[in-house]
Amino acid sequence: MRVEARAPVRSRLRRPAGSRVERAQPDAAALQPPATREQILAIAARLFSERGYANTTLRQIAQEAGIQAGSIYYHFDGKDEIAACVLDEGIAAVTDAVQRRLAALPPDADMRTRLGAAVEGHLWGMLQRGEFTAAHIRIYRYVSDAARQRHRSIRSAYTQLWDGLLQQAADAGLLRRDIPVPMVRQFLVGALNWPVDWYDPQRGSFEQLAAQLTALALDGMTVQPPVPATRRRTRAL
């Protein structure tokens, strides 16, 4: 008995005359260009600042970026390199802002003016790159030794920038001599880091913020008692 081979099902289906084939439309996500290195870093910085280092995974970063987890390795070796780059971006932002403010000053600017410019620059860099600087503050102590080692040189350079500036102020007699410069730097820069969490531009301009924190840093928070006027000696009659 001879069995005739059946034609493929699709060839036996006839479309009505004049009908058009409906082609599947590509998914909207597929039309998006692949995430760039900068986009991945920005997403990682936001997740690090929100969730911390340990609670942020490569899969979560990839999902937010709209890519497969394995695609991250096209740009980075892994989570350690991403963390080191986020740390670098945070410090680079404030370093550039401080250097620009100092460079814009006239050559004869006094030390108080220079310190005020550095304070303003640090605040500006912190707030302009808020997710990177916030991530730096939150994750630095928790990243791997490898990530910290990659980041060490740029962090040290910023420390030296402040130490040099504060030492000049100390030499000019502007700072107290009973407190070491490194301690002054740690206190000052540490205090200047936190406005990234609480500053609200609707409650005051950036200029107001910079002026107020500069006054706190250089003049303190206590009211200085008035100096009594020196009594004039009465002339002997």
In tens, the pLDDT along 69-116 reads 888 888 898 899 999 999 999 899 999 999 999 999 999 999 999 999
Residues ≥6 apart with Cβ < 8 Å to 129: 89, 90, 93, 94
d(CA 134, CA 140): 10
155-199 per-position pLDDT tens digit = 999 999 999 999 999 999 988 889 999 999 999 998 898 888 888
What is the model's pTM? 0.75
